[in-house]
Every structure is written in C-alpha cells, then in structure tokens.
Amino acid sequence: MEVSIIINNFNTRGLLKQCIRGILQFPPSVEYEIIVVDNNSYDGSAQMVGDEFPAIKLIASKENLGHHKGNNLGMKNSTGKYVLIVNTDIAVLDNAFDKMYQYMESHPDCALLGPRLKNPDGSTQMSCMHFPTKMTPIYRRTFLGGLPWAKKELGKYLMVDFDHSQISEVDWILGACQMVRRAAIEKAGYLDEYLFLYFGDVAWCKKFWQVGYKVCYFPEAEIIHYHKRESANSGLFSRIFWIHIIDWVKFLNRYSKDELPKRV
C-alpha cells in the first residue's frame, strides 16, 4: 500500500460526504486506502459512510477522541508508505495527491508535505507558519493583536511576506491536509494525544525537525479548504474557545522548554 488517506470526523456529515466524493473523483493513481474515523457523531455520519461508501474502512469510536487521538487511531490501522491526513472540510479538485506523492518519492528527507490551501474564493490561506511564541495565540484571540508590535509579530508568524508560490522548507504546516512519511512517524512518533484538538500539528512538525527530517510547503498541489477558525470566531464562553486555550497551556507545558529545531 502506497497511500493511506485518514479522515477524522465529528458531526460533519455533509462535509465528510463531499470530501470522500472529491477523493474518489481524483484519487491517487497508486494503490491507496481510505480510512474514516468517526468520533461518536450523532448526525448519522457513520451510517452514511457505511451506506454510501461500503468499500471504505470505517472505525466507529464510542467516544469523541479529538483530532490527534482520532487521527492516530486511523494511522495505526493503516498500512501505507505515506499517510495522508485530511480534514472533512477540504475539497479535492484535481490530481493534487499524485503531485504530493511524487514530491515525497523524490525527496526522502521530507517527513511532512503540505499543499497550498485556498479559500473557496480562490485566495491563498496562510497554512505554513513560523513556530509560535508564547504570546502568539493571545495576540490572535484578543484586542492586543491590534497593537503595532503585535501586528509585526503576527505578520512574521503567519509569513505574510512569504512567496506562497515557491516550494519551501517551513517550520510547520496546518494540519488540514498533510502527507506524512511513515518512516518519519516511526522515528518521531505519532501526534501528541496530550493535546485534544489544537497545536498537535505544531508539535509534530517540531518533532520531525528534531529527528533530522524536513517539513515542506508544496504549492504545486492546491486544495480548497473551507476553514472556519472556530476558536477565533467563538465567544469567550464557548467550549471550542476554551479547548483552544487549554491545549495552548498544555503545549507550553510540554514544549516551551524545548530548543527550537535547527533547520538543516
């Protein structure tokens, strides 16, 4: 098996169906499998997969495992040389997965590859970033982000001056769509299950750099991402906002003392 496509789902039945249909319309040309991990959804997602896509491997969890643990469960039940993690809110429009596969085959030092993510209107999303500082999430979620020095730091973090048309080595890639080398996972480990929903992609990329692999941004493959940024758009008393804050505290507790990986 060359590519294992992992889709982790929680209550996004419509998006999940659209995502699967897009993959089946533009599948990898090499041997592949699709694994859906359903996190105990109550919107009929699991039944929809079983009824409409019976050839797809469905793992129906009895609890909401979150992003990292759910994707790990899918990876541990997969066999591909490469793992392709996709969120349900992405849409495949062409042979982007083949382009990513071919790049990984010709660049054995790359652990994780991320495509150019585009908004539905065609604009480019900021999906490759520098590692965050301790204040980055605070600036992004509060009025402090409007202050001059905060704007400067956020611009650097989001790489707003970066040429998003160039293939480049980057600190980390947003976890909405990532092709990951299994050999690198075996060396660096799986996604950190200490974190529930956020910052696992940051931690994972840091681990890959630390064990000698590269993380690369690959704009020659383009994917539509219906990105909602729920934590930023949710109010102070929303559950998703506090999951984000708790994961940030956990991330700092575990990773803030690490030296930043040296880019090779």
Q: Quick one: pLDDT at residue 237?
A: 52
| DSSP one-letter code for 123 | P
Low-confidence ranges of the chain (pLDDT < 50): 229-235, 264
Q: Quick one: pLDDT at residue 264?
A: 47
Q: Quick one: pLDDT at residue 219?
A: 97
- Render 158-221 in DSSP notation, one character per residue: HTTTS-TTS-EE-SEE-TTEEEEEHHHHHHH-S--TTSSSSSHHHHHHHHHHHTT-EEEEEEEE
Which domains does the chain carry?
A: 3-133+162-255 (3.90.550.10)
Q: Measured in whole angstroms, how far is the alpha carbon of residue 179 from the centre of its chain?
A: 9
- The predicted model scores a pTM of 0.90
Buried b (16+ CB within 10 A) or exposed e, 125-151: bebbbbbbeebbbebbbeeebeeeebe
- Render 3-25 in DSSP notation, one character per residue: EEEEEEESS-HHHHHHHHHHHHH
Q: Quick one: pLDDT at residue 260?
A: 57
Q: Quick one: pLDDT at residue 155?
A: 83
Which of 190, 176, 192, 199 is CA-nearest to residue 248?
A: 199
User: Is-contact 44 172, C-beta < 8 A?
Assistant: no
Q: Quick one: pLDDT at residue 231?
A: 41
Between CA 36 and CA 88 the distance in angstroms is 10
Amino acid at 250: K
Q: How many helices (H) and strands (E) does the chain have?
A: 10, 11
What 3-state class would DSSP assign to 82? Answer: strand
Which of 95, 100, 94 is CA-nearest to residue 113?
A: 100
Q: Quick one: pLDDT at residue 263?
A: 53
